[in-house]
Amino acid sequence: EAGVVQSPRYKIIEKKQPVAFWCNPISGHNTLYWYRQNLGQGPELLIRYENEEAVDDSQLPKDRFSAERLKGVDSTLKIQPAELGDSAVYLCASSLRGANYGYTFGSGTRLTVV
Amino acid sequence: TQLLEQSPQFLSIQEGENLTVYCNSSSVFSSLQWYRQEPGEGPVLLVTVVTGGEVKKLKRLTFQFGDARKDSSLHITAAQPGDTGLYLCAGGGNMEYGNKLVFGAGTILRVKS
């Protein structure tokens, strides 16, 4: 069974440019999460989807970040415009039964804004 | 301030030594999970503990959930270079934070051969 697939693995962009990350969760996992992990820190939740509905986006900086999960499967996270402080690893995870049963993470996208 | 405090932040030991890392909180969690993350990869789930006082063993790794479900520990016996990585604890089911995992900052473990 394929795991959570993310692309691209690495992205380097200049500040003020847009960038998008893509995630394909494990088949059948209704819940999808986007996390951001800064160097030396644990992941922090940006947004959580139940099927196609964003049920927790309280930590998503909505002035520049947006996300969508059309048809309740794949998801895209976008930043426009990117700032230097957005440099981090963006992790996508999915789960079948929620927070108490563990998540499966993708390998992440390492974003560098210069 | 982190909801989950992990200690130590960094640990460098020789192959064959034992070690314990800690995850502490002032909040109660329904579950506590441990993940290991290698450079350039996402975290991989090692174990989930859900009952206060629960102890789980996974080969040379022993996980314990505190009686009050506020803290946990991970003990590794006879560490090997392959154990090197970032160990993250994560709490789930905290009423204040809803149905999402909250992560600690992690413990970086380096095992030298």
| Domain assignment of residue B66, given as a range | 5-112
How many folded domains does chain B comprise? 1
Q: Is residue A79 part of a domain?
A: yes
Which candidate, A1, A5, A44, places its Cα nearest to that of A23? A5
Q: What is the pLDDT of residue A98?
A: 73
| CATH code of the domain covering residue B100 | 2.60.40.10
Q: How far is CA B37 from CA A42, A77, B41, in A?
A: 10, 22, 6
Q: CA of B105 to nearest chain A CA: how many angstroms apart?
A: 4
Q: Is residue A65 part of a domain?
A: yes
Cβ contacts of B46-53, under 8 Å, gap ≥ 24: B48/A100, B48/A101, B48/A102, B50/A100
CB contact under 8 A, B40 and A100: no
For the sheet containing B55-58, what is the strand order?
Answer: B5-7, B19-24, B71-76, B61-65, B55-58
* pLDDT tens digits for range A26-66: 999 999 999 999 998 999 999 999 999 999 999 999 999 99
Instruction: Report the pLDDT averaged over residues A93-98.
Output: 86
Q: What is the pLDDT of residue A112?
A: 98
How many folded domains does chain A comprise? 1
> Among residues 70-109 of chain B, which lie with CB inside 8 Å of chain A?
88, 90, 92-93, 98-106
Q: What is the rounded CA–CA span in Å between residue B33 and residue B112?
A: 26
Our CA angle for B46, B15, B7, nearest 5°, is: 50
More confident residue, B94 or B23: B23
Q: Which residues are B91's β-sheet partners? A: B32, B102
Q: Which of B42, B100, B104 sits opposite A99 (nearest CB)?
A: B100
| Domain assignment of residue A84, given as a range | 5-9+19-97
Q: What is the pLDDT of residue A1?
A: 65
Contacts of B31 in chain A (CB under 8 A): 99-101
* pLDDT tens digits for range B16-75: 999 999 999 999 999 999 999 999 999 999 999 999 999 999 999 999 999 999 999 999
| CATH code of the domain covering residue A76 | 2.60.40.10
Q: Which residues are A94's β-sheet partners? A: A32, A104
